[in-house]
């Protein structure tokens, strides 16, 4: 041990945390490898262990030796904000360059030029930015830190393909520039992969992963109403404040709205919110102004509230790795924190969807390359040529760029081919997806059925050799949570799920290239519509699924539920009812619409027909394809009835079918069109 360095860095630690602070086991060991031996280090330690102080102290020590600033690659803005705040409290001059602080970029560059920046935080995407490359930091930095380093492995490439840039960037560093990669969630496979990617035979420092403060519980699989009722009854009684994780934005908003309706201070947190709103919510949780944030994985890696009292999963995550990462938010400086894993039948479909759609199909990437052959194109131009969702195209373009097959330059961004001979490594993709399915089975089946220690199961799954009985989980103590909830509360939750107000927003513009003008004039725009439920959701959503694909007839209960919603929303504005036509199911929707009209006591008349032999609308993946596919495929047959019309369809996805059919009706003199769909799909919501 380098005693002088130990004394120096121990002093730095005490300056940062107080005169009684001491190193945790392995903290100084990691610092010594970085500062004294200038090595590459992979640090695998449990959440809350203090990995950030390793690079804060190593940065301070290297700066004293006149080394350049540390560059920290961090994946999430919420994580960066937390790291900057902690660094500055520790006396480390930390700055960031990211998409939300453009007004500060000049000042940050000034600090770098004046050598007044100790730690610069950037996302992996920033490494590919031409302006950032002009700073030539690979020639100037004193240390490179890769936070959440499991993303460097194949496990994380679909999460952030730009993590591949880091490996190439690190290869350009001088041999005496130390590199630190940190993570709390790496099994042996991921560790070996990251070691290979980092090169230079990095030192691996791995500690025990068990979290002594956590009490783990598992709830038997149940429907959403049962889980909502349990949350409403029990969350107010759990000490402290916490996070409730959901798999989708829609579920996060749903759970937050339910808890709020029951007097629990809860807010939804997800990536669709503006950055300033996410910052406000993070601060509200840190200040104990909310009982819980109901969050997607957008509130995940690195969020640090040491006294977080509970983490509850409303649905199963996709792997033990993800689960351990998320529950690591709880109980960092508490003796006791509650961790509960719930599950429902819907999370099987959601998790499998995530796995199946993690990578764009090889055919899509090859088609994108073919469409770029000989011509640079913008993203919107590509969407008019390739039938893919915008998010899928984003994934394809990112992978192609990271792998050097295309370049992305200019504003608006132009995409050009660099390597027309590029081919997709389909074997790697299939191997990654295969491992993901195995990891899903591990948490979906094996963890659920495990009768031994739950903490031991988790850390054994992460290949921790120190796995032992925790003595605190429900299986170790024989004390499960009380799952009983009043029947009337479950009924109230069911009513809540059935009464969600789902708006169908009218399309106000055609996609560019569809017509002479993109604006849909106001007199040809539909009114705000309504959907009865979300497709395949508990209750009404399941009834829609069964009626469409099993019975080929929608149940009378759906007719009555729809009539109640329409009466509350529009009646007596509705003068008559018509239906969207379908070639595949010609009688399904008209039959429902006719029975609905009878319930509403207004006439029904089928005045629309399909005229073009177009592909099914559900096979169209983006607005350009959807609008083009439906325009001209619907026409009037027969006389219109007077007054505003209720335009009925079974499913709403993109909304272009309603827009096109409504345009036809309005252009022929119908005064107002009110769209109504039995169900909104996941994509539509």
Averaged pLDDT for residues 34-47: 92
Q: 427, 451, 485 — which closes off a domain?
A: 427
β-pairing, 502-504 vs 529-534, is: antiparallel
> Residue 467: which pLDDT band, with cuts at 50, 70 and 90?
confident
pLDDT, tens digit (0-9, with 9 covering 90-100), for 272-314: 999 889 989 999 999 999 999 999 988 866 677 889 999 999 9
pLDDT surpasses 70 at 386:
yes
Q: Does 33 share its domain with 157? A: yes
Q: Does 290 share its domain with 335? A: yes
- According to the model, what pLDDT value does residue 158 have? 53
The answer to whether residue 685 is domain-embedded is no
CATH number, domain of 571, equals 3.40.50.2020
Which residues have a Cβ under 8 Å from the Cβ of 478 and sit 6 or more positions away? none
pLDDT, tens digit (0-9, with 9 covering 90-100), for 321-368: 889 989 988 998 899 999 999 999 889 889 998 888 888 999 999 999
The answer to whether residue 441 is domain-embedded is yes
- Picking from 67, 56, 11, the residue whose alpha carbon sits closest to that of residue 30 is 56
Q: 152, 178, 206 — which closes off a domain?
A: 206
Q: Does 270 share its domain with 160? A: no
CATH number, domain of 105, equals 3.40.50.300
Burial class of residue 130 in the structure, from the number of CB atoms within 10 Å of its CB (0-12 exposed, 13-18 middle, 19+ buried): exposed
Q: Does 131 share its domain with 156? A: yes
- According to the model, what pLDDT value does residue 685 have? 47
Length of the chain equals 685
The answer to whether residue 620 is domain-embedded is yes
The answer to whether residue 652 is domain-embedded is yes
Which residues have a Cβ under 8 Å from the Cβ of 100 and sit 6 or more positions away? 77, 275
Percent of the chain with pLDDT over 90: 58
> Residue 236: which pLDDT band, with cuts at 50, 70 and 90?
very high
Q: Does 180 share its domain with 314? A: no
**Cβ–Cβ < 8 Å for 676, 529:** yes
User: What token pair was written down for 183?
Assistant: 């993570």
Give 542 or 159, the one with higher predicted confidence. 542
Q: 149, 179, 206 — which closes off a domain?
A: 206
> Residue 252: which pLDDT band, with cuts at 50, 70 and 90?
very high
- The vertex-634 CA angle with 632 and 636, nearest 5°, equals 120
- According to the model, what pLDDT value does residue 403 have? 84
Question: pTM for the complete prediction?
Answer: 0.85
- N- to C-terminal Cα separation, the chain: 58
Q: Does 183 share its domain with 218? A: no
Averaged pLDDT for residues 380-394: 93
pLDDT surpasses 50 at 418:
yes
Give 465 or 203, the one with higher predicted confidence. 203
Highest mean pLDDT among 390-394, 635-639, 643-647: 643-647
pLDDT surpasses 80 at 77:
no
- According to the model, what pLDDT value does residue 632 have? 77
pLDDT, tens digit (0-9, with 9 covering 90-100), for 105-129: 888 888 988 999 999 988 887 887 7
**Cβ–Cβ < 8 Å for 586, 608:** no
Q: How many CB atoms lie within 10 A of CB 538?
A: 21
- According to the model, what pLDDT value does residue 429 have? 85
User: What token pair was written down for 205?
Assistant: 């420092």
The answer to whether residue 554 is domain-embedded is yes
CATH number, domain of 413, equals 1.10.10.10
Give me the chain's average pLDDT, please. Answer: 89
Q: Does 240 share its domain with 164? A: no
User: What token pair was written down for 233?
Assistant: 């009854």
pLDDT surpasses 70 at 492:
yes
pLDDT surpasses 70 at 679:
yes
List alpha helices for 172-270, DSSP H.
188-198, 224-234, 249-261
- Cα(457)–Cα(339) distance, integer angstroms: 15
Q: Does 223 share its domain with 317? A: yes
Q: Does 489 share its domain with 504? A: no
- Cα(572)–Cα(594) distance, integer angstroms: 17
- According to the model, what pLDDT value does residue 152 have? 75
The answer to whether residue 560 is domain-embedded is yes
Highest mean pLDDT among 217-221, 459-463, 616-620: 217-221
Our count of domains for the chain comes to 4
Question: What is the residue-wise DSSP string for 290-357?
Answer: SSEEEE-TTS-TT---TT--EEEESS--S-HHHHHHHHTTS-TT-S-EEEEE---THHHHHHHHHHHT
Highest mean pLDDT among 201-210, 287-296, 616-625: 287-296
Q: Does 522 share its domain with 473? A: no
CA distances from 397 to 407, 420, 524 (A): 9, 14, 36
- According to the model, what pLDDT value does residue 22 have? 95
- Cα(500)–Cα(532) distance, integer angstroms: 8
**Cβ–Cβ < 8 Å for 371, 410:** no
Which residues have a Cβ under 8 Å from the Cβ of 651 and sit 6 or more positions away? 535, 544, 548, 618, 677, 678, 679, 680, 681, 684
CA distances from 484 to 219, 225, 254 (A): 11, 13, 22
Domain carrying residue 377: 361-427
Q: Does 302 share its domain with 164? A: no
Q: Does 268 share its domain with 305? A: yes
> Residue 99: which pLDDT band, with cuts at 50, 70 and 90?
confident
Taking each helix axis as running N to C, give the angle between helix 454-461 and helix 320-327, from 0 to 180 degrees, rounded to the nearest 10.
Answer: 120
């Amino acid at each position: 041990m380098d005693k002088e360095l130990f004394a120096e860095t121990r002093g730095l630690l005490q300056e940062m945390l107080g005169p009684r602070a001491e190193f945790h086991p392995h903290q100084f060991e990691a610092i010594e490898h970085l500062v004294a031996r200038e090595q590459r280090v992979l640090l695998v330690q449990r959440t809350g262990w203090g990995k950030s102080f390793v690079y804060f102290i190593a940065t301070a020590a290297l700066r004293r030796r006149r080394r350049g600033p540390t560059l920290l690659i961090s994946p999430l803005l919420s994580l960066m904000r937390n790291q900057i705040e902690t660094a500055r409290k520790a006396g480390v001059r930390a700055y960031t360059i990211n998409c939300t602080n453009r007004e500060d970029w000049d000042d940050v560059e000034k600090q770098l030029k004046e050598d007044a920046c100790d730690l610069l935080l950037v996302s992996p995407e920033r490494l590919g930015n031409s302006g950032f490359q002009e700073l030539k930091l690979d020639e100037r930095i004193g240390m490179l830190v890769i936070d959440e380093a499991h993303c460097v492995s194949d496990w994380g490439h679909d999460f952030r393909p730009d993590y591949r840039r880091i490996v190439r960037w690190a290869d350009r560093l001088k041999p005496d520039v130390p590199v630190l990669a940190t993570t709390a969630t790496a099994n042996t496979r991921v560790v070996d992969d990251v070691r290979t990617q980092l090169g230079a035979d990095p030192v691996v420092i791995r500690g025990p992963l068990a979290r002594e403060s956590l009490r783990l519980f598992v709830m038997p699989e149940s429907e959403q109403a049962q889980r909502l009722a349990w949350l409403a009854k029990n969350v107010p009684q759990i000490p402290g404040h916490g996070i409730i994780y959901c798999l989708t934005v829609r579920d996060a908003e749903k759970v937050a709205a339910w808890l709020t309706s029951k007097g629990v201070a809860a807010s939804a947190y997800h990536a669709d919110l503006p950055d300033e709103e996410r910052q406000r919510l993070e601060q509200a949780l840190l200040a104990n102004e909310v009982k819980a944030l109901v969050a997607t994985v957008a509130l995940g890696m690195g969020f640090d509230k040491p006294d977080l009292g509970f983490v509850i999963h409303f649905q199963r995550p996709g792997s033990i790795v993800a689960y351990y990462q998320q529950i690591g938010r709880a109980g960092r400086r508490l003796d006791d924190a509650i961790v509960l894993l719930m599950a429902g039948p819907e999370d099987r479909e959601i998790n499998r969807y995530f796995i199946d759609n993690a990578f764009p199909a090889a055919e899509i990437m090859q088609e994108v390359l073919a469409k770029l052959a000989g011509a640079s194109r913008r993203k919107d131009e590509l969407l008019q040529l390739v039938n893919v969702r915008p998010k899928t195209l984003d994934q394809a373009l990112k992978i192609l760029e990271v792998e050097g097959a295309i370049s992305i330059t200019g504003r608006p961004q132009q995409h050009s081919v660099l390597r027309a001979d590029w081919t997709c490594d389909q074997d790697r993709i299939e191997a990654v997806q295969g491992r993901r399915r195995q990891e899903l089975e591990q948490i979906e089946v094996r963890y659920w059925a495990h009768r031994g220690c739950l903490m031991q199961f988790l850390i054994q799954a992460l290949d921790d050799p120190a796995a032992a009985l925790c003595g605190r989980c429900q299986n170790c103590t024989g004390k499960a949570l009380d799952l009983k909830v009043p029947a009337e509360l479950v009924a109230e939750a069911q009513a809540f799920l059935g009464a969600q107000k789902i708006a169908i927003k009218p399309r106000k513009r055609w996609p560019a290239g569809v017509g002479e003008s993109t604006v849909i004039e106001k007199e040809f725009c539909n009114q705000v519509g309504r959907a009865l439920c979300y497709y395949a959701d508990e209750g009404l959503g399941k009834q829609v699924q069964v009626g469409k694909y099993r019975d080929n007839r929608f149940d009378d209960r759906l007719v009555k539920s729809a009539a109640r919603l329409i009466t509350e929303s529009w009646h007596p504005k509705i003068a008559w009812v018509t239906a969207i036509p379908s070639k595949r199911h010609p009688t399904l929707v008209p039959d429902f619409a006719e029975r609905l009209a009878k319930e509403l006591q207004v006439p029904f008349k089928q005045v629309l027909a399909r005229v073009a032999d177009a592909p099914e609308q559900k096979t169209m993946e983006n607005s350009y394809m959807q609008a083009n596919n439906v325009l001209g495929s619907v026409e009037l047959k027969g006389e219109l009835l007077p007054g505003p019309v209720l335009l009925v369809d079974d499913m709403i996805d993109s909304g272009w079918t309603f827009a096109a059919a409504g345009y036809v009706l309005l252009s022929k003199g119908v005064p107002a069109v009110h769209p109504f769909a039995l169900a909104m799909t996941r994509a539509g919501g």
